[in-house]
Structure 1
C-alpha cells in the first residue's frame, strides 16, 4: 500500500513572538510519533518567518517528501483556541517586516486569483475538536503576514516540487508556559493552551485530514 504522506509545518520566532508555539508543536509531534492510521507517514517542518526563505523551504521539503496533505500551523495571539482558516488571500503586508527585517518584494503573494480556499475538511475538524472539549473557531481571514503568505503559496501550486492535493492553515494561540517571555500587559490579554492541549488538538486535526484523504480514495494518495 502506498503510504499517505502528511506534512505538518510550524514557524520559528519572529519580531512580535520571541517564542512560537508552533515550533514547539513540531517538536512535540516528532516526539509523540502519533498514530494517524494505517500507512500514514508524517513529516514535520519548522519554516523561517522570512518571505524569501519560507517558499524555498517548502520547495526543498517537496523534493524530499511529496506530501499528499499539508497542514500549516501558525501563531495568532488573537486566537481563542484552534482557529481554522478557510481563505487565503493574494496579499502580503508591506508594513510588517519579517524575522530578517525585510518586507515582501510585492504586495501580491504570487500570480493567481484574489483568494484560494482551504481544502482541509474544516467542518469535520471543528466537530472533532469540539467533541474532545478543545476550543475551536472558524475564520475567513488569515491576516496579511507570513501565515497567509504560506497558506496562499501552499494552495497556489506555484512552488516547484511542492503540490499537496489537500492543504490549509490553522492558527493557534500562545502556550501558557510561554507567557513570561511576553510583555506583561500583552500576556494578560491573550488566550493560551497547555502543551498537552496543543498536541492533542494537532493530532485530532491530522487524523481527521488523514481520514478525509482516505475517503477521497486514490486521488489523495
Structure 2
C-alpha cells in the first residue's frame, strides 16, 4: 500500500500547543487517493528530531514525506523551497541545546531543494481560497534542521519520490496572545494538507510560474 508520512512538532518556547502537529494528527491513519496517511510527532530538539524522523521512514517506507512546523508571525501556508546546512538557534530547543553556527551534516552540501511540486502546491491552495506562498527560508532553528536532515538522508531511501517542508501560521488561540498577529484555523491547515497531498500524488512536474520575491 502506498504511504505518506506527515510530521508536526511538539510545542516549543512559551507555547503549549503547536499547530503543525494539531493539523497533521487530524489526518493520522486516514486514506486519501488510495494512500495511507501516517502522522508522527517530532520533538523540537536538534538531532533527536532527525532520529525520530528516520525511524519513522524506516518503519513505514513512505512514498512522500511532508514535514510541517510552526512559523509564528507568518500569515499563510509557506511551502519551503530550500534547506541550508546550518544550525543557529536563537533560543534553546526543548532539550536545552542551543547550537550556534554548526552544520546540520558534517561535509554535507550547502543546501538542498525541496522535491515537492512547490509552485503547484501554492497555486492549488490559492485556488481553494487558502493563503499560501513559496518561502525562501526555513530559518535556522529545528524546522530547517529537520528539512535539511530529511533531504540529506533520502539517498538511503530511494522509495521516497517527493519530500519537503511547509510552515504554518499560529492558530487563533495562540495569536490571541500576540495582538495583530496573523493566524489560521487548524481545520483550514488540515484541509491545506489534504490539498497538498492530493497535488503531490498527482503531479510529476511542477508548474513553471513565478514564486520569487523582489527583496
Query: In the alignment, is residue 144 of structure 1 matched against residue 160 of structure 2?
Result: no
Q: How does 1:37-52 map to 2 (within 5 A)?
A: 37-38=33-34, 40-52=35-47
Alignment CA distance shift 1:93-1:145 (3 Å): same
Distance (whole Å) between structure 1 residues aligned to residue 155 and residue 115 of structure 2: 17
Unaligned segments of structure 2, at least 5 residues: 206-215
SS in 2 for 1:168: strand
Give the Cα–Cα distance (whole angstroms) in 1 for the partners of residues 145 and 121 of structure 2: 22
More helix by share: 1
Counterpart among 170, 182, 197 of residue 191 in structure 1: 182
Give me the whole-angstrom Cα distance separating, in 2, the residues matched to 1:188 and 1:79. Answer: 14
Q: Identify the range of structure 1 (114-123 vs 94-103) with the bigger mean alpha-carbon deviation.
A: 94-103
* TM-aligned CA deviation for residue 63 of structure 1: 2.3
Q: Aligned match of 2:74 in 79, 84, 92?
A: 79
Name the CA distance, whole Å, in 1 between partners of 2:153 and 2:159: 5
RMSD: 2.3
Note closer, same or farther for the CA distance 1:160–1:122 as it changes in structure 2 (3 Å cut): closer
Is residue 210 of structure 1 aligned with residue 205 of structure 2? no
Please state how far the C-alpha of 1:201 moved relative to its aligned partner: 0.8
Rounded Cα–Cα distance in structure 2 between residues aligned with 1:158 and 1:104:
24
Q: Name the count of aligned residue pairs.
A: 205
Residue 58 of structure 1: how far off its partner (Å): 1.3
- What corresponds to 2:7 in structure 1? 9
- Give the Cα–Cα distance (whole angstroms) in 2 for the partners of residues 79 and 95 of structure 1: 18
Residue 26 (structure 1) aligned to one of 19, 24, 33: 24
Number of the residue aligned with 2:126: 130
Q: From 103, 116, 119, give the equivalent of 1:120.
A: 116
Q: Which runs of 4+ in 1 moved over 2 A?
A: 103-106, 158-165, 177-180
Listed as ranges, the matches of 1:79-98 within 5 Å are 79-98=74-93
Give the distance between the partners of 1:153 and 1:106, measured in 2 at CA: 16
What runs of 5+ residues in structure 1 fail to find an aligned partner? Answer: 216-221
The answer as to 2:98 corresponding to 1:103 is: yes
Q: Is the CA contact 1:93–1:104 (under 8 Å) kept in the aligned structure 2?
A: yes
Q: For residues 107-150 of structure 1, what are the alpha-carbon distances to aligned partners after superposition, in whole Å with 9 as ceiling and x for unaligned?
A: 10003111100000011101110110000011111000000000
**1:37, distance to aligned residue in structure 2 (A):** 0.8
